[in-house]
Amino acid sequence: MNPIKKKDPYKKSSQLKADARQSLLGNLSICIWSIVICLLLNSLILGITANFTLGNAAINFIVNFLITLVVSTFTGLIELGLMSIFLDLQFGQIPHFSELFLCFRNGSDKAVLISLFLNGIPSVLLIPASIMLSVQNLSEAVQIVLVIVQAICLVLQIAFFLNFQILPFLFLDFPNLRARELIRESRRVMKGHKKRLLYIFISFIPLFLLGLLSFGIADLWVLAYFFATLAAFYRDLMTAK
């Protein structure tokens, strides 16, 4: 007996990219300008607040870490707004610039928690690398230990991204759920789909490298394409489920 092969309800990476490109047609300028505003605000705020120098190296490190965490949480709110634009495009709605500041208007408490979660854990996982860069005259043994710890943290960071990359979309799509429920939901929805998302990430590496060749300018368009693909991935997951 020939077993009937069950049709996969989920779209392939190429189909998701096609959906993303289709959603971007005619809306590319609003996406690019939103990304530019988001990046400018991000670098402006980080530029103003970065590199506080206090007497003690340890206190200096902790203060700078906390400042970066607060700032990245704040800019994370704008990034949530940016994701709203791409989600709108994916569902055939007309996006507006004002959506960039969506989290400052309503549901900001939950947005802060989500942003803190999405930016805080990766920041904590970057501590070994930050220590290596900021503390001088470390012994060779300490450096080796830090490199190993950072390598483990990198793996954890990738796992974190794969689990929670759709969290901004869930936050926008389910305004009634609490932050903890959204985090749990994100993990549940991503079960069995992390490999697919990883494949999408990897498939974008050549484009990001091409963008780097243009001193990062072309990456603005690549980012728009990437975010649109993530939104398409999210829509595919939710539609199939």
Partner 1 sequence: MNYVSSQKLSGTALGLSIFALVSTMIVPVILPLILGPIAIILAILSKGSRYTLPRRSQIAVIISIIAIALNLFILVFACVSLVQVLQDPAQRKSLNDTVESTYGMSLDELLDSLPSFMRGNQ
| Contacting residues toward partner 1, per CB under 8 A | 18-19, 21-22, 24-26, 28, 207, 210-211, 213-215, 217-218, 221-222, 225
Rounded CA separation 191/131 (Å) = 34
Minimum CB separation from partner 1 for residue 225, in Å?
6
Which CB, 43 or 214, lies closer to partner 1? 214
Residue 80 in contact with residue 102, Cβ under 8 Å? Answer: yes
Q: 14 or 139: whose CB is closer to partner 1? A: 14
Amino acid occupying residue 53: T
Say if CB 196 and CB 12 are below 8 A apart: no
Residue 77 contacts by C-beta under 8 Å, 6 or more apart in sequence?
Answer: 103, 104, 108, 111, 112, 115
* Encoded tokens for 73: 């949480």
Nearer to partner 1, 116 or 236 (CB): 236
CB of 161 to partner 1, least distance (A): 23
- Please state the closest distance from residue 90 (CB atom) to partner 1, in A: 13
Nearer to partner 1, 10 or 221 (CB): 221
Q: What's the min distance (Å) between Cβ of 206 and partner 1? A: 10
Tokens encoding 92: 């055939």
